[in-house]
């Protein structure tokens, strides 16, 4: 999916919501555990109930890898379900990969070709040759970790090297790489106060912003400092939406939570 198509979808749905499909078998309704594929059944019900409110879904691969081959098959079925039934939805494989070049090429192949995701999250730590294989895929997006939502972001990302914070080096250096138009960046919602500085460096690129809901980030604050003329934001919530209920009404409860965020987004977009 192109960025232009994503922007059109945002305006159509009046939403820049990304729903995180971080499926934990301990947290889903018990009766689903008796089905052949509980993870997929859970995702399908969530997608069916929320797809009109969200422009993106983000399965975090850890939650699938943890269940071995069955988990990976559930991930495969989930992305196929989205691509077949909702091709207008932007899909993110939250895998946080990145390795030496030939290995990164295989990661990119896995997520862009085999699974056919629109994008994948990538760690910048190993530098240019570890990210370029992802960027080489036309029509696909590489979402680079810039300033993450967790406390540990202050361990390295905000440290100053050559008079500049490490996360600023990540932004400035990566935007000069070949195919950098395929880049998006992760900035945690808990780091909204940094967004003004970040937008000075990357005024246009889309940001994936996790950390509203369960981690306490504030949607209005993120929009105030991070929004661009083309919106430029995908706001993710995972637990705050998908675990609104662990009873039979889980999908409608999730839709209610998603709608609360979507209505706030619609108000911001029509301001």
Ligand X SMILES: O=C(O)c1cc(=O)[nH]c(=O)n1[C@@H]1O[C@H](COP(=O)(O)O)[C@@H](O)[C@H]1O
List active site positions.
Answer: 96
Token pair for 85: 């039934």
Question: Using CB under 6 A, which of the segments 27-35, 107-115, 234-242, 261-269 binds ligand X?
Answer: 234-242
Residue with Cβ nearer ligand X (130 or 238): 238
Q: Is 71 an interacting residue with respect to ligand X (CB under 6 A)?
A: no
Residue with Cβ nearer ligand X (24 or 76): 24
Q: Is 232 an interacting residue with respect to ligand X (CB under 6 A)?
A: no
Q: List the x/- string, 202-231, binding to ligand X by CB under 6 A.
A: --------xx-xxx----------------
Residue 15 contacts residue 54 (beta carbons within 8 Å): yes
Q: Is 133 an interacting residue with respect to ligand X (CB under 6 A)?
A: no
Token pair for 43: 């995702």
Q: Is 5 an interacting residue with respect to ligand X (CB under 6 A)?
A: no
Give the residue among 93, 84, 31 at the shortest CA–CA distance from 57.
Answer: 93
Crossing angle (nearest 10°) for helices 3-13 and 250-269: 100
Containing 72, the helix (H) or strand (E) segment is: helix 68-85
Please give the residues from 100 up to 129 whose contact with ligand X meets the rule CB under 6 A: 121
Q: Beta-carbon neighbour count of residue 244 at 10 Å? A: 18
Give the residue among 197, 210, 195, 93 at the shortest CA–CA distance from 149.
Answer: 210
Regarding beta strands 119-122 and 141-147, do their DSSP bridges make them parallel or antiparallel, or are they unpaired?
A: parallel
Q: Is 50 an interacting residue with respect to ligand X (CB under 6 A)?
A: no
Question: Using CB under 6 A, which of the segments 80-88, 194-202, 222-230, 238-246 binds ligand X?
Answer: 238-246
Q: Is 91 an interacting residue with respect to ligand X (CB under 6 A)?
A: no
Q: Which residue has the tokens 């899909």?
A: 91
Containing 271, the helix (H) or strand (E) segment is: none
Q: List the x/- string, 178-207, binding to ligand X by CB under 6 A.
A: --------x-x-------------------
Applying CB under 6 A, among 7, 239, 259, 264 the residue interacting with ligand X is 239
> CA 52 to CA 144: how far, in whole Å?
27
By CB under 6 A, name the binding residues for ligand X: 20, 22, 60, 94, 121, 148-150, 186, 188, 210-211, 213-215, 236-240
């Amino acid at each position: 999916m192109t960025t232009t198509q994503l922007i059109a979808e945002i305006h159509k749905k009046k939403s820049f919501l990304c729903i995180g499909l971080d499926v934990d078998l301990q947290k889903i309704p018990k009766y689903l555990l008796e089905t052949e594929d509980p993870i997929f059944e859970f995702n399908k019900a969530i997608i069916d109930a929320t797809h009109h409110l969200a422009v993106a879904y983000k399965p975090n691969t850890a939650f699938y890898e943890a269940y071995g081959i069955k988990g990976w098959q559930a991930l495969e079925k989930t992305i196929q379900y989205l691509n077949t039934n909702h091709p207008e939805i932007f899909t993110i494989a939250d895998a946080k990969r990145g390795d030496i070049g030939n290995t990164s090429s295989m990661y990119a192949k896995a997520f862009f070709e085999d699974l056919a995701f629109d994008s994948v999250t990538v760690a910048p730590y190993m530098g240019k040759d570890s990210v370029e294989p992802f960027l080489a895929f036309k029509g696909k997006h590489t979402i680079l970790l810039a300033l993450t939502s967790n406390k540990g972001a202050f361990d390295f990302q905000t440290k100053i090297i050559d008079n500049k914070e490490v996360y600023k080096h990540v932004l400035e250096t990566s935007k000069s790489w070949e195919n950098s138009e395929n880049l998006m960046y992760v900035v945690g919602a808990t780091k909204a106060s940094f967004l003004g500085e970040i937008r000075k460096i990357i005024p246009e690129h889309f940001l994936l912003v996790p950390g509203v809901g369960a981690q306490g980030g504030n949607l209005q604050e993120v929009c105030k400092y991070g929004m661009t003329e083309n919106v430029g934001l995908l706001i993710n919530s995972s637990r705050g939406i998908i675990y609104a209920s662990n009873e039979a009404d889980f999908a409608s409860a999730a839709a209610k939570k998603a709608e609360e965020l979507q209505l706030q987004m619609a108000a911001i977009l029509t301001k």
